[in-house]
Amino acid sequence: MAALVAAARAADCPYEVALVASDKPDAAGLAYAAGQGVATFAHSPRGIPKAEYEAAIDTALRDAGVGTIALAGYMRLLSGAFVAKWRDRIVNIHPSLLPAYKGLDTHARAIAAGDAEAGCSVHVVTEELDAGSVLAQARVPILPGDTADTLAARVLVEEHRLYPRTLAEYVTR
C-alpha cells in the first residue's frame, strides 16, 4: 500500500490513492496513509454479517470516488456479490507465480517443492481465490539456504516495484 501511495505522488502517475481501507482499525498502514493526506476507512468486521460489512466498504469506496480497488495486504476473502459489483475493477498482488501456490504460505510451499524460483503476481480479482487473469509477474531465485522469511523479504522488494507499475498500466487501459 505504501508503495502505491508513494508512486501516486509522481507527476506522471495515472492514478491517485483516494482511500485506504482496512478491516483492522489499528493497522499501521492507516496511520501511514493519514500522514500522507490520504483518506482512510477502518472498520472491524467482528459481529457484523459479511454482507453488511461489505456494504459499508462499498459505500466508503464509492463516496471516495474510487474507480479501481487495489488490494494490498487485505487478507479477507471478498464475497462473490462484492466482486461482481466491482467486476474487472479489483486487482491484487499475490506472493507467488500464479497459478502456482494460491492462498497462504506461498514461500514455504515453493521452497518445499524444490522450485528454482518464486516471485509475485498482480492479477484481476474474481470470485475464485487467486484465479483471475495475471497482469504481470516478477521472478526471484530461490537461493540455497533460503527460508520462507528470507525469500519473502526478496519477493517483497519486487512486489513494491511491480504493483505500482502494473496498476498504472491497468487503469489506463
What is the set of active-site residues? 94
Q: How many alpha carbons lie under 13 Å from residue 143 in its C-beta half-sphere? A: 11
Question: Which sign, positive or negative, has the C-alpha torsion 114, 144, 92, 76?
Answer: positive
For 36, residues 6+ apart whose C-beta sits below 8 A from its C-beta are 5
Q: What is the DSSP letter of 168?
A: H
20 has which bridge partners? 40
Mode of pairing for the β-strands spanning 40-42 and 20-22: parallel
Residue with cell 484465479: 131
Backbone φ and ψ for 19, nearest 5 degrees, come out as: -160, 140
